[in-house]
Structure 1
Amino acid sequence: MKEKINELLKKENYAFDKEKWKSIKNVPFLYSAETAQYLNKLKKHMGMAKGIYIFCDSDEKILYIGKGAPIYNRIRRHFAKLKKTGEEPAKTSEIPQSISIHWVEIEGPETREVVEHMLCYTLSPAYKKWYTS
């Protein structure tokens, strides 16, 4: 089943491909002034794009898959929660010091929803929820 879903994602150009998806690398995970600089850079590259994003560690292991409309606002909220609480998410020892953020633009909300679920099913991210208080 996963193979058929992955073939469908490839056919529609939504399959995760680091060469085809846009990305920014070495984003400090724990919020700092440096993280804010990366988020500003991300905003310039993304603008108000809607779509799917993937967080990966330095080994490109997939940590989390999400969707946003716009993507940037959703990613910014992940980091804002960390900044606000000053807490680190569960399983901190497994969280890298920096992450890569990859994204693909998808305009339609229904398509984003389906593609997000298909990617989660086929790629099996390490976390279903990125942040828990």
Structure 2
Amino acid sequence: MREKIQDLLKKENYAFDKEKWKSIENVPFLINTDTTPLLNKIKKNMGVTKGIYIFSDSDERILYIGKGAPIYNRIRRHFAKLKNCSPSMHEEAPRQELPSAITIHWVEIEQPETREIVEHMLAYTLKPAYKKWHIV
């Protein structure tokens, strides 16, 4: 079944391929840092693209798969969660280990129904480390 889904994703040009998907590498993912310049860089690269995004770590492990319309707004909310999370809150009850830097990959998908289906298919085939990306 997994192979059939991967074949379908390839046929539709939605299969995760670092060569075909756009990306921003070495994005610092640190708590309580000034993220404004970084968010501006991400916004400049993504614009108002609607689609699927993937967070991966320096070992190229898939951490999280999400969707956004536009993607930038969804990623901005992830960073807002980090900014609002105090270090003591993270130390007391960490829900997931935060990498120091991530790579954000994305592909444009206009149709909401297609985004939903592709997100689930990618999650099924790539098995991200986290199904939800939450800090506190």
- Under a length normalisation based on structure 2, what TM-score does the superposition of the two structures give? 0.91
Q: 2:95 aligns with which of 90, 96, 100?
A: 90
Candidates 108, 116, 128, aligned match of 1:113: 116
The percent identity for this pair of structures is 73
| Pairing 1:131–2:134 present | yes
Q: CA offset at residue 85 of structure 1?
A: 2.3
Which has more radius of gyration?
A: 2
Distance, in Å, in 1 between the alignment partners of 2:101 and 2:115 is: 26
Instruction: Give distance in 2, aligned partners of 1:66 and 1:91.
Output: 17
**Cα separation, 2, equivalents of 1:41 and 1:52:** 18
**Residue ranges of structure 2 left out of the alignment (5+ in a row):** none
Amino acid in structure 2 at the alignment position of 1:109:
P
Are the equivalent residues in 1 in contact too, given 2:52–2:115 (CA < 8 A)? Answer: yes
What is the root-mean-square deviation of aligned Cα atoms in Å? 1.2
- Equivalent pairs counted in the alignment come to 130
Runs (4+) off by over 4 Å: none
In 2, Cα distance between the equivalents of 1:82 and 1:43? 18
Query: How many angstroms apart in 2 are the aligned matches of 1:114 and 1:65?
Result: 12
What is aligned with 1:104?
107
Which segments of 5 or more consecutive residues in structure 1 lack a partner in the other structure?
A: none
| CA distance in structure 2 between the aligned counterparts of 1:48 and 1:2, rounded to whole angstroms | 31
TM-score, with normalisation over the residues of structure 1? 0.93
Q: Quick one: distance in 1 between partners of 2:135 and 2:29?
A: 15
